[in-house]
Each structure stands twice: as structure tokens, then as C-alpha cells.
Amino acid sequence: MKLRNILVAASILATPAAFAGNDWSFKNVSVNYLDWSNGTEQRTNAGAFAGKKDFALLEIEGGFGGDWGEAYGFFDVENPTKGTDETDARENRRLVVKAVGRFNLVQLGAVPLQAYVHIYDLRDTGSSFFTQNRVLGLGTSLSSGNFWIKPFIGGHQQFESNIGAHANGVMAGYVAGYSFQMFGQSFMATQWHETEFNRDDKYLTMGSPAGGVTKGNATGQNGAVSLWWNVSKEFTTGVQYRYADQKLGSASYQNAMIYTAKYNF
């Protein structure tokens, strides 16, 4: 699938006018800086494969929903001030797109059963490397007061350069949030998490903390915990704890802090 087509699909998901009668929507642009921990850099940079280095990123994010369900998407440019073929390959500009759709199928009491689909696509503009995760399954959306959680589970297909597209086990996960007031200010705590089960050996070649490459585990973890301060209607700032284990190309635990400033419009 060409990146142009992925961007078109993501822009449709992020446009409220794509569906009639939407009840809510949001959109923002943000400037972010991801700071890997020293331990992560040491574990991943023992070898050249999947080495980690701090980077800035620009993001466009949006979502909307209604009685039919909801959609969400973002587009990131990592290392936006860098070129496409840097001396240090970790500094190459990268493009990331994610699009998520949840479509209400039937109401089970107060709980909706939803069809769930997501596409995540990462491209390194300085090489031929790309990876795309495709998930199709079921989900739901639960809420109580200021707390909400949206779990899902589905079949996972991965499309990767030099390997092709193959079934790659099962992915389950959730996004959750809790909004609250403190010191007269508006805050929100959120988390997203994904667990991949029974992954195919084809996709388990990872960087080894001892150097070189190794075979990773068939189960991988990926996610972030965030705290957001809604300074005003237009401006939000936040900090995220980013974590991954047996993911992001490395057979090790990886963690980082992400510092974010958003403009909401």
C-alpha cells in the first residue's frame, strides 16, 4: 500500500464531515520530544540493529464519534529537521500514521459490541524499511463518571519490508482515561496498551542487548501512561512514560519520557 493512500485514509478518519450526525470531535497539532532512558540506549545500542536515540516529532491528531461509533487517527513526522539519509541512521526522518475505527454492531444492555480495525504504518525515509500492523477484531467502550476504557482484541497481520504480509498472531489492548480537577485546573490521566500474542517467527528477528541480532519472544508489550494539563481550551501540555518490551525491534525492555505541547483547534 502506498504511503499516499495511507495518508488519505487517515485524513478521512480524522475528518468529522466523513460521517453525518457526529456528536463530538477533536483535533490538534503538537510538538513533542522523546527522551530514551540511558538504560534503553545502552541495551539497544550494543549492536547497530534497532538502536535508539532521542528525537523530536511533530504530530497532527484527531478523532470524532457518534451513534455509529468512533474514529481516531494521527500522523507523525519524527526527526522533522533531519534529512532522509543521515550519517547516523537513527536520525533519519521517519513517517508514522495510525488510523483506528470502532463501529457499533449491537447494544448488549449498556455496553456496545463494536467492530474494531486499526492500521499502524511506520516508514524510514532514509532506507527501504517499513512496517505496517493491521488488526481486525472486536471491541467495546465502557465509562463511569469521569473514567472511560475502550478494550479490543483482534487478529493481527503484519506487512514488513523484505518479509511481506502474513498473519502474526493476536493483538489485545485498550485505551483508558480519567479526567479530574486539581488546584482549580483541568487534568486528565490516560493510558494506551497493546499486547501481541503468538507472533510468527518471521517477525521475531530483533536487536540483542548483547550485540547483533537474536530471536525475540512470541509475546510483546507496547504502551504509554500520560498526564495531561489542559491549561486552556486551546493549549494542553503533558508528559508521557513510554514503554515497550520485546517490541520496536529490540529483544529488551525499553522506556522513555515524552514531553508534549498541543494546540487544540
CB 9 within 8 A of CB 3: no
pLDDT at position 250, please? 95
Q: Which residue has the higher pLDDT, 7 or 199?
A: 199
Neighbours of 220 (CB within 10 A): 22
pTM of the model: 0.91
Summarize pLDDT for 239-249 with one digit per residue, the tens. Answer: 999 999 999 99
The answer to whether residue 1 scores a pLDDT higher than 80 is no
Alpha helices in 45-111 (DSSP H): none
Give me the chain's average pLDDT, please: 91
Q: What percent of the chain has pLDDT over 70?
A: 91
Mean pLDDT of 205-225: 95
pLDDT at 24: 92
- Report helix, strand and coil shares of the chain as percent, to nearest 5: 10, 65, 25
3-class DSSP assignment, residue 44 = helix
**Whether residue 16 has pLDDT greater than 50:** no
pLDDT exceeds cutoff 50 at 128:
yes
* Statement: residue 9 has pLDDT above 60: no
pLDDT at 17 exceeding the cut of 70: no
| pLDDT tens track for 83-103 | 888 899 899 999 999 999 999
The confidence score (pLDDT) of residue 116 equals 98
